[in-house]
Chain A
Amino acid sequence: MCPDSPPPQAPDQSPPDREVLSAGDISRALRRIAHEIVERNKGAGNVVLLGIPSRGVELARRLGALIADIEGSEVPVGSLDVTMYRDDLRGRPTKTPHQTHFPSTGVDDRVVVLVDDVLYSGRTVRAALDALADYGRPRAVRLAVLVDRGHRELPIRADHVGKNLPTSHAERVTVRLTGYDDVDDSVTIARAER
């Protein structure tokens, strides 16, 4: 789970965050990413989308539907929980892991596109790569994120980015998605609470 992502909740009454992506922006960004994935792989016949819980799963589901519209055939979509592979479990509240679900196609010799909402330090993606290696051997692994906020701590980059968002460490990026948060899609940025 991306550390930036809060649990689902109704918007609170604190001062409003600054919206950096609206529902329309998110829709357009995902459509572009879907086209990029198809173009990059010369179709989608060998592609498997794996969302990283929690909101990455919803984004992967949407990307799968968009690619199916483009290509006219279903794309396998699953989820990959990385909780047990994180390197920052110590000294943090214990997290209950989400479900890992792999499509029946498996991942061996497939192009796996990992999907997450926010790319920040890169540690979630590193954990996902470790987890994936325990499940099989994909032909290639790529990364699609809705927002890249920078501040990488590992040599990891995204192949498909909805929006590059320059931020400071003192800011919090919040992604909300209909279907997970029960509110309209948005990406907002705010000063993190001290």
Chain B
Amino acid sequence: MTRHLLSVSDLDDDALRSVLTTAAQMHDVQHRAVKKLPTLRGRTVINLFFEDSTRTRSSFEIAGKWMSADTINITGKGSSASKGESLRDTVRTIAAMGVDAIVMRHQASGAAQQVAGWFDESGVATSVLNAGDGTHEHPTQALLDAYTLEQRLGPLAGKRIAIVGDVTHSRVFRSNVLALPRLGAHVTVVAPPTLMPSGVASWAAADGFALSDDLDEVIDSGVDALMMLRVQRERMAGGFFPTPREYTVGYGLTRDRLATLTRRNPEAVICHPGPMNRGLEIAADAADAASSLVLDQVSAGVAVRMSVLYHLLASDGIVEGSLA
């Protein structure tokens, strides 16, 4: 049992399935005249974002509001952190106000786990949801990716999914390789050697995914989904590739690769967690193609986050047979 969601691995198989099943019911709320459920009435959720975000922060806010929770946004730039307050003091201050959950995004890997640890040690009842911590994990992104792919492709067992791009800096990759293989998908991670983290082979063996540095070969082998990762230049301190043009030639989803992808499998779909660097990792033609699920992912993000908030907060953390 847990009252935090810091990693996809916090969810056992039953919980993973329950979150996705519940998300399907939550998705219907988006199409109703009354976009409101009373489930979390009286709960307070703080979105504490130390990094810029459009999708994740707004979808967590909408998710909370549609579940009738009171949601408040705090950004690092506008908080006392900008005056030098430590993370520990910031989160303890927020928790002392009696909030039920903190949805936290932070540039440091492990930050959410650190905060959850502080809360657990001191008996603070506030739940922590990891909305992205450095290059570590982004669990709700992986959950919404899995949900979106299931909605389009059906059960993922046996489906071939390639995750492509800046793997080294990608928390989306890390969460997805913990989620997708557990749902039965055959995952291949594709990146130039300079953007493949050291020691990734041991993760691949442990979590059940394959590695490749040849995107054309992977596309030509026929895949059901291509998940393009954003090139995170803001996290790059060195030269991971000679020029953006060279990256695109080797690992971008270009118009030609899109044609090959569709020729090999007319039902193949394209995902991207956003924001997209159009013309770098994904061509505009691919981003806007009928097979692009980019906006479906955004829509699913609200439903999945409603589901996660429900699972973590509705039962006061008593979640038997649901969360690991």
Contacts and interface: CB of A to CB of B under 8 A. Distances in A.
Judge: A and B partners, yes or no.
yes
Interface of A: 81, 84-85, 89-94, 96-100, 130, 134-135
Contacts of A94: 18, 310-311, 314-315, 318-320, 322-323
B25 interface: yes
B37 A93 contact: no
B105 to A, nearest CB: 25
Contacts of B18: 94, 96
Contact of A100 (B25, B36, B67): B25
Contacts of A135: 32, 34
> At the interface, is chain B mostly helix, strand, loop or mixed?
loop
A94 B3 CA distance: 12
Contacts of A97: 21-22, 25
Interface of B: 18, 21-22, 24-25, 28, 32-34, 36-39, 67, 310-311, 314-316, 318-323
A90 B37 contact: no
A85 B315 contact: no
Contacts of A85: 37-39
A38 B316 CA distance: 44
Count chain B CB atoms within 10 A of each CB in A94, A100, A130 and give the residue with the most: A94
A69 to B, nearest CB: 32
Contacts of A90: 314-316
Contacts of B311: 94
Nearest to A87: B38
B36 A134 contact: yes
Contacts of B67: 84
A130 B37 CA distance: 10
A84 B310 contact: yes
6 contacts: A84-B37, A92-B318, A93-B319, A94-B311, A134-B34, A134-B36
Contacts of B22: 96-97
Count chain B CB atoms within 10 A of each CB in A91, A92, A97, A135 and give the residue with the most: A97
A124 to B, nearest CB: 15
A84 B28 CA distance: 13
Nearest to B320: A93
A94 B33 CA distance: 26
Nearest to A127: B38
A133 B245 CA distance: 56
